[in-house]
A = this chain, B = another copy of it.
Amino acid sequence: MGKVPIGTNTTICPMPVTLIGSVVKGRPNFMTVAFISRVCLDPPLVSVGINKRSATREAVLRNQAFSVNFPSVAMMKEADYCGMVSGNNTDKSMLFEVFYGKRPDAPMIQRCPLCIECTVVETHDFRSHTCFIGEITAAHIDESCLAGGRPDPKKINPLLLTMPDNRYWALGENVGSAWSAGKELLKGK
């Protein structure tokens, strides 16, 4: 298959859409972020890339805590809105009913099926974004999104994003099992 170059600003395909919770001007604030992943299994660390001009960056720097909330596809409108307006000049505290875990500075969204609470352990500044490494201190899921005691991705129904086409997607069909699908090749060795 013929390959063509597409420049250096390529994004991960696809990216999970999350709402990063913090406390801005004394109120819960949520910013849409797709630059996020786990970076370490033990301890359980999350990396999140936050625009340096955002109210969220200032709040996370100050409080050393944040939450990661996974909006479902049904919350696309609200999730998109939280990426269009800044907590610097817009109060987003009335958008969602919030709850708190161990920290008073990491508000979580009741309506999001999966919510994670993090304490900052490292901060790395780059030109346009700050990378916060957070340790997961707690996670909460809607009881209705469990199957056999485990999170069921189809019930969570997470929202995904691709760029630069700027489209939102749902999770598709289950196509196989990990640490299993490749066993056939293992036997060939």
Contact = CB atoms under 8 A, between A and B. Distances in A.
Interface residues of A, number: 109
Contacts of A156: 13
Contact of A73 (B39, B133, B175): B175
B37 A180 contact: no
A79 interface: yes
Q: How many copies does the complex hold?
A: 2
Given A37-B35, A170-B175, A81 B139 contact: no
A120 to B, nearest CB: 14
Interface of A: 1-16, 18, 34-49, 51, 70, 73, 76-85, 90, 99, 110-111, 113-116, 122, 124, 126-129, 131, 133, 135-144, 146-147, 150-153, 156, 158-186, 189
